[in-house]
A and B are shown apart, each in its own frame.
Chain A
Amino acid sequence: MPFMHGSMPLRRTFFYLQQGKVKFRDNVNVFAMGFHKRPTEEQSGARDFVYWHWAQLQYHNPKVQLVKHADKVITPFARAYLNDGREVLFDLDGMKREEIEDTLAKTLGKTELVERREHLESIAKLNPADFGSKNERQCMCEVQGQHPCTGLLRAPKCMTGKQRWNHNLI
């Protein structure tokens, strides 16, 4: 399998995806990046960034639209479209991929303040009346005094959805 050679499969490992530093704030709706497929020395940082970190970006920012512009303009750039209509332009000329990553993470990434606020909000959002895998209880049957799940104890027929008085009617 030729796909399994070189650095190609490395980028797609779950561990590598988790290592991504750039986690955009909620303000960022779209992130576009212009790079070159055959770059000069100044342009090679943007191309390396796309090669190494694009999958990480996708992994960490599932709600952000990510756009690639290959060979469109001379100078490599990145442009973020915020939800209030503003556009943030990054000039990536002559930057290495590490520098690009740092710049993006510092400017549009989640800062400490944002993370703290989100943590507090997530605490406030916890509602004990919610059920599901992301909540305190998985199922209603875990609540005291409720009927156990019908997988364990069959419910009386009158409580199931199939109950009908006259099967010939409808």
Chain B
Amino acid sequence: MLSCRISTSSTARCLLLATSQFNSADGIQKRQMGRRQPKQGKPPILPPSKKVLYHVVHAPWQKPEDVEELLWRRHAYNNAVLSIREVFRAELAQNASHGQGIEAMKEAEAVELDDLIAENQKRNEEKRAVREAREDEMTKETKRVILDEIQVELEKRNEEKKMAEEEVRRVIERSDGFVDRQNLETKILEALEKPTIYDFAIDRAGNKYFVPEPVKYQEGTPTRQKGRLYDQTLGTNHGYVEEAAKKEQSL
């Protein structure tokens, strides 16, 4: 029933198609006109070559006794194959019944796989234990190193703290001579009496050459150009020389 319906519907559709094509193109066949036309004189699909086409090898007729013999042999062979197949089938059935068939092998495989996985699991556990022990050891070692570093750092800081305290104490001691509001006038007078002059040349031995000779109070107009003042041969007495050795001795 269903097939009938399908067939009727398909024929109806074909007819519809056919009528529409004929309607649109005034009865001219237009189907597959979009395909490229083959070049003239050269078919798109080459037929088999003359050598190959219609070349069927006809075996020569054999002698009737040979045919008979071959037929007999063929029957014998077919019978032998059938027998062997029967034997093999029986053997397979026997194996299956004795638990040596494919199904039994599959079961054995599953068991084998389970064993192997269990063995692997055991190996993993062992490795994990070993690794944990090793990591514990490493953690302890790291902890010890960190504690040592902390110890060293603390000692260093204590040392620095002591030095800073010592420095502060020294500064406090020195602060007696510092300038403040009370002793400002006195200090100014002292500085005027004992001026410190940095306008000197120095050689490698540490001798200081004051040219011109330092004076406590400036007299007259100070020299404007000082560029070539120190351009003199050392050792000639031009000004005041403060020798380094004497200074050390005095210190």
Chain A interface (Cβ within 8 Å of chain B)? 25, 27, 75, 86, 88-91, 93-94, 103, 106-108, 111, 113-114, 116-117, 120-121, 124, 148, 151-154, 167-170
Contact = CB atoms under 8 A, between A and B. Distances in A.
Contacts of A25: 109, 113
A96 B124 CA distance: 15
15 contacts: A25-B113, A86-B117, A88-B120, A89-B124, A91-B123, A93-B131, A103-B123, A107-B119, A113-B109, A116-B105, A121-B102, A153-B54, A154-B54, A168-B29, A170-B17
Given A91-B123, A152-B56, 18 more contacts: A86-B117, A88-B120, A89-B120, A91-B124, A91-B128, A93-B127, A94-B127, A106-B116, A107-B117, A113-B109, A117-B102, A117-B105, A121-B102, A152-B55, A154-B54, A167-B29, A169-B14, A170-B17
Contacts of A114: 109
A170 B31 CA distance: 8
B105 A151 contact: no
* Among B52, B56, B108, B117: residue with most chain A CB under 10 A: B117
* Nearest 9 A/B pairs, CB to CB: A117-B105, A91-B127, A91-B124, A107-B116, A107-B120, A88-B117, A113-B109, A114-B109, A168-B29
Interface of B: 14, 17-18, 29, 31, 47-48, 52-56, 102, 105-106, 108-109, 112-113, 116-117, 119-120, 123-124, 127-128, 131
A93 B134 CA distance: 12
B56 A90 contact: no
Contacts of B105: 113, 116-117, 120
Contacts of A170: 14, 17-18, 31
A103 B120 CA distance: 9
A27 B120 contact: no
A90 B122 CA distance: 11
Nearest to B128: A91
A152 B113 contact: no
* Among A27, A86, A106, A113: residue with most chain B CB under 10 A: A113
A148 B124 CA distance: 63
Given A91-B123, A113-B109, A151-B48, A120 B102 contact: yes
Contacts of B54: 153-154
Contacts of B14: 169-170
Contacts of B123: 91, 103
A148 B128 CA distance: 68
A113 B112 contact: yes
A137 to B, nearest CB: 17
